[in-house]
Structure 1
């Protein structure tokens, strides 16, 4: 048997990630191999879901990747697993445009049943019409079960269980409120920096008391008939390859697993740390991914040797792609939330600040050289241009509307707040640096 399901909810902050982390560990305790996926472009949740599963978690995003590639990724990475778990994004039907790109659309695309996480702190039998609506809104979505969150007593759960039975959705258990398993958040993602394993174990222990893993598997099992999808067209390693240096440390962590896998087929990939290394490694291209440079400003600023090495590389015509946190680091300075300014590389004539936090997020499409490259934008910092750098391409959101964000180009450096996806084999880097 193979087991597969998508964890979703009516909205964000319903407990999807907590439930997913706990189920990953409980299933692994039974000796099952678990592959975990995350709907949407989020880097942060994916990181910790992968840590819990002890294998890389994979993003599934129809907007950025396209349906064919999402299908290929899912079947490729789940082929060696006994259980495939997809954590949804936002509410079940929330997409970039109505339900386009939503968790529901992914569940339909992959023919995966949905397990709902339904907060029920102040509800009883009235959850019946809520569940009925989710079950019947789109007949192509299969709601295989429900786990009720914020339920402290068995008597309360019995009312909820009756409601679920009456609308034909299997009740799989409930989760009492427990302060010690609350996951702190940073921005829209997780913040698990210490005692990650301890927290995941605590969540699993808590869920094990009141959630039936046996009934979950019964509701989501199927014969081992998963589609065998070849990833060969992405995995063919080129012979004469250039070297790409990828920034990777605590400050620069926002990379998609399959983006890096794809780079490894096209380039010799080396990693470096702007926090700790003194010089940039020898490379034909540098990739400064996003992350949380604002949490390490003192250390980044104090590493003068790396700042100078990176600045020389850029001034001498080195090819470099910088995304979000990488853009911030290449500027003259970054101001933290308290208003203190830290010197950074200084190649771009701009400064960024978190003193006046302004959330900007959404899918983005870069129209460049008659092609479209997809990604997303998510940041709280603002940018102040001193000398306006050249910009290239035309950037729109998921509805085709123009956005304020620019793709800057100075010499052979390309930088913006946009996080790109190229794991589907597009030629973004070749196009930018040909």
Structure 2
């Protein structure tokens, strides 16, 4: 057997990126398995997810017991990135970062890839390769990834979906011949699959057997992994200056913001909550599905994205909630909704079966998901009016991902204004977007960070 590539055995705490050669290589399952296995060993571990994903971080949180943060080199400023990763490193000894799509894939404009995170922070990459149906060809794939960008270091490989012990050994020998240490050879296991829906995986709280799934995955990963070699891959990230409280994230909507939080409204970025709190803002949570209303002392109300279309009938029956929102709007309390949160502020939602459900009626917009049409991509958004705790003209990086559309709306006017002037990730104009009426505002985009020149 040929000599194996050397792997430094010093246990160096820090961060490690788990990336894939493409989507659907198994990197999410590998990440969850590694997080739980590390937690079971008593290691202090946190995690991050590359890109704007809301759903995977909840799975990370279940596996590790720690908050998972997003890292996005397209949508986040250098200060925000430094603050997030620096905070993770302060709170735990090890940080696992799950990549997005394939290692070098990013936005249409180019930035935003997992490779950019690796290059920016000088972090090693553990490459997940689905070796089903190949052996020597896996080595060619790994060699290509190793040489594609000199700023990105492939520190090791996980060979996933090996059909047998012999197949796995053939792949391991081939990959190690090109100088890449193989850390894990993971056999195909049919009970390790997660169910999805139209915006990705189902939410973690909707998977009743998630704990058992993660435990099985951790057993699988631990049994087939060179554990000392795996832990030796972590390296301290090269983090630049950490910004002050007002220099990262976005401004809080108010001194006390009531945030909708349940199965219908779950997509609230943890880094934005942290930025608001760091500026001294208070956040209280309420569940529209449970019939709760915003805290009476709140001076702002936020409805994040989620899946209100799946709960539209139930939400439509929450008359007390709608009454509380209308009274708050009447007092001039800022109310902001993003994507699914935008939809609840409108007049109605028509579900996939064609049934129309009345909503809060704070914005003259009717939404439908009856004929789903995917809207996906990074966005550049500039406020057309003062709102969201910012002055007119404030610019944001954001992400849009939804299948709902507007069935009917009133035209823009002096009383019903567009919230944003929008462009795609390459700067191509998309025109006005969203709505603002009095103190109520909403749009389909999810704000990730404020643009800071």
In structure 2, C-alpha distance between the alignment counterparts of 1:61 and 1:133, rounded to whole Å: 24
Q: What is aligned with 2:408?
A: 385
In structure 1, C-alpha distance between the alignment counterparts of 2:346 and 2:147, rounded to whole Å: 51
Contact 2:363 2:440 in 1 (8 A): no
Contact 2:397 2:451 in 1 (8 A): no
Superposed counterparts of 1:204-283, under 5 Å:
204-218=218-232, 220-222=233-235, 230=242, 232-233=244-245, 242-264=255-277, 265-282=279-296, 283=298
Residue 57 of structure 2 corresponds to residue 51 of structure 1: no
Equivalent residue in structure 2 for 1:133, among 141, 144, 164: 144
- Higher RCO, Cα 8 Å, sep 6+: 2
TM-score, scaled relative to structure 2: 0.87
Q: Deviations over 1:249-301 (max 9, x none)?
A: 22111011121122223422222222223543222211111111122222211
Contact 2:395 2:451 in 1 (8 A): no
Structure 1 segments, 4+ long, off by >4 Å, are 224-232
Contact 1:297 1:342 in 2 (8 A): yes
CA, structure 1 residues 61+162, in 2 after alignment: closer, same or farther (shift >3 Å)?
Answer: same
Contact 1:272 1:280 in 2 (8 A): yes
Residue 123 of structure 2 corresponds to residue 123 of structure 1: no
Equivalent residue in structure 1 for 2:430, among 383, 403, 407: 403
RMSD: 2.2
Superposed counterparts of 1:356-367, under 5 Å:
356-367=371-382
Q: Secondary structure at the match of 2:353?
A: coil
Gaps of 5+ in 2: 1-11, 384-391
Q: What is aligned with 1:432?
A: none
Superposed counterparts of 1:97-112, under 5 Å:
97=108, 99-112=110-123
Q: Deviations over 1:355-380 (max 9, x none)?
A: 11111111111123343211111111
Q: Deviations over 1:119-145 (max 9, x none)?
A: 111101111211111000101100011
TM-score, scaled relative to structure 1: 0.91
In structure 1, C-alpha distance between the alignment counterparts of 2:292 and 2:67, rounded to whole Å: 29
CA, structure 1 residues 226+135, in 2 after alignment: closer, same or farther (shift >3 Å)?
Answer: closer
Cα deviation for residue 179 of structure 1 reads 2.1
Greater Cα offset, 226-235 or 401-410: 226-235
Cα deviation for residue 226 of structure 1 reads 6.5
In structure 2, C-alpha distance between the alignment counterparts of 1:147 and 1:69, rounded to whole Å: 30
Equivalent residue in structure 1 for 2:396, among 360, 363, 373: 373
In structure 2, C-alpha distance between the alignment counterparts of 1:227 and 1:95, rounded to whole Å: 21
In structure 2, C-alpha distance between the alignment counterparts of 1:244 and 1:425, rounded to whole Å: 22
Cα deviation for residue 189 of structure 1 reads 2.8
Q: What is aligned with 1:328?
A: 343
Contact 1:32 1:82 in 2 (8 A): yes
CA, structure 1 residues 51+232, in 2 after alignment: closer, same or farther (shift >3 Å)?
Answer: farther
Q: What is aligned with 1:69?
A: 80
Matched residue count: 420
